[in-house]
Structure 1
């Protein structure tokens, strides 16, 4: 169902950007608690199914219908793979061996990879030397974090960090591909992609994890509910709105807010602490993302409109 293009109101959009950063920052802690007794594939299958179902109910209440044409659902499936199926599962698996705080730092590279894909391939938004400098800083920060593990923790921890980086690249692709839904109400691609993701993951969950044999703890169940309702259903609606109003690079700017918020949540609820290399890498990444997203000479706005 088509809708009128959203007109950006920077005060509202920046507030939504901060809310989105908080919702997604909390997801890393929810995941860490959830995978304690729920395997990654089953956790993410349930996450997408519950969140998608909630959005469908809200859409019915608002009188919005999901499109029925095959082309829209093919796009939903692609968006699902880029924005939920692959990255959600990779991050959930990675957090079995790395802290939530480290995962959120590595995942804050999303704007950098979004810029690189834009610059090298899609060219749908303007690029600049300042943004390129931000890319260099961001890549340097990631190299410091991942490189510090290359010789001291060869094996699963290094592989887990690389899995989060791969998830980050998927998120960057999703931010760009999400522009294909500009003629739909933001809830439609959110619900459609989540339901598509659930249809992909549920059979895998049944085969791999045999969920009927699991005995999840109360804490894991509560974490799953928080993950599905707040960090997914609510977050996706805000995300697709911002893709329309702020553009893909601007929307991924929430990563530089998400990193410190996610670290604080992990430290408070999980008692995590970061290594010296992680703190150094975080500074490089935040400097890089800020260079890419804060318009020159416009400190009152932290993102550029698309």
Structure 2
């Protein structure tokens, strides 16, 4: 599959993930168990892919060590934070907040990826993008209660993604290991991390009903299994900045699915703020200001 095709497919899968998370949390599944189930089903799917491909499993401590760190940043922490956020706000808002991922990726890429430079245009893009976040939140009406807490949880998740994209490109995606094997190791680490903390944090899991289980199964196997192979392939092919721009398109999918299938309301400031966020991302990531590593 060509890079452009992977990009569109990944955006659709991740765009639909927000609705699946919403189904699970609305059924009463605690956020940390949403994240744990998502990673468990994702890991099983990834190991099945590795078995089918005959992929060699990394055995060196360095790879597993970096995988454990990346797992926190790209799986355990953001999955829990997004699920917590969606317990308080709709999937449409969560998908729009996810569009800030390229902005947080830029911040961390400037810190850890050699060759990335601060420019006036990039700084302007960051300011415009985060102004869009305030518009999405309707900041002029006051920020308090569930909207503020849910929005901050989603933004904290995108900050984790930003750090994770940059760390993956510099420390984890290189070497001779295949994307499916690295993704399986990463998501397995996240599964173990979450299964260790979930019982202490939220108590033992309980049966949430078939619809929630089906949502978690699809969310894990497709949105965290197959999608992570696509994601790592994109990072390798185009670098963390370009790969993270899949979130330009993800809000379109999440908004359409949330509005049509879940009946969520899309206010004027939600749509306008989303457009401002994406404008800021495009400004910060304008071609003349992006150095994409091979």
TM-score by length of 2: 0.91
- Paired position in structure 1 for 2:241: 249
Secondary structure of 2:287's aligned partner: coil
**Residue 65 of structure 1 pairs with residue 44 of structure 2:** no
**Is contact 1:141-1:282 (8 Å) kept?**
yes
When residues 139 and 123 of structure 1 are mapped into structure 2, their CA distance, relative to the original with a 3 A threshold, is farther
When residues 203 and 244 of structure 1 are mapped into structure 2, their CA distance, relative to the original with a 3 A threshold, is same
Secondary structure of 1:211's aligned partner: coil
- Paired position in structure 1 for 2:5: 15
The 2-side partners of 1:135 and 1:284 are apart by 11
**Residue 26 of structure 1 pairs with residue 19 of structure 2:** no
Residue 40 of structure 1 and its aligned partner are, at CA, apart by 1.3
**Residue 102 of structure 1 pairs with residue 93 of structure 2:** yes
- Paired position in structure 2 for 1:75: 66
**Is contact 1:87-1:167 (8 Å) kept?**
yes
- RMSD of Structure 2 on Structure 1 (CA): 2.0
When residues 121 and 60 of structure 1 are mapped into structure 2, their CA distance, relative to the original with a 3 A threshold, is closer
Matches within 5 A, 1:90-239: 90-125=81-116, 128-146=119-137, 148=139, 151=142, 154-179=144-169, 180=171, 181-183=173-175, 184-212=177-205, 214-239=206-231
**Is contact 1:134-1:291 (8 Å) kept?**
yes
The 1-side partners of 2:21 and 2:181 are apart by 25
| Greater mean alpha carbon deviation, residues 48-57 or residues 138-147 | 138-147
* Structure 1 residue runs without a partner (length 5+): 1-10, 297-302
Secondary structure of 2:58's aligned partner: coil
The 1-side partners of 2:201 and 2:106 are apart by 36
Residue 129 of structure 1 and its aligned partner are, at CA, apart by 4.1
Matches within 5 A, 1:278-297: 278-293=270-285, 295=287
Residue 185 of structure 1 and its aligned partner are, at CA, apart by 1.0
When residues 116 and 209 of structure 1 are mapped into structure 2, their CA distance, relative to the original with a 3 A threshold, is closer
* Structure 2 residue runs without a partner (length 5+): none
The 2-side partners of 1:24 and 1:289 are apart by 18
- Paired position in structure 1 for 2:232: 240
The 1-side partners of 2:140 and 2:32 are apart by 26
Q: How many residues align?
A: 288
TM-score by length of 1: 0.88
Residue 154 of structure 1 and its aligned partner are, at CA, apart by 1.2
Residue 128 of structure 1 and its aligned partner are, at CA, apart by 4.6
The 1-side partners of 2:58 and 2:112 are apart by 29
Residue 116 of structure 1 and its aligned partner are, at CA, apart by 1.8
The 2-side partners of 1:304 and 1:36 are apart by 42
Residue 276 of structure 1 and its aligned partner are, at CA, apart by 2.7
Residue 287 of structure 1 and its aligned partner are, at CA, apart by 1.0
Residue 304 of structure 1 and its aligned partner are, at CA, apart by 7.1
Secondary structure of 1:157's aligned partner: helix
**Is contact 1:31-1:95 (8 Å) kept?**
yes
| Greater mean alpha carbon deviation, residues 123-132 or residues 273-282 | 123-132
**Is contact 2:45-2:226 (8 Å) kept?**
no
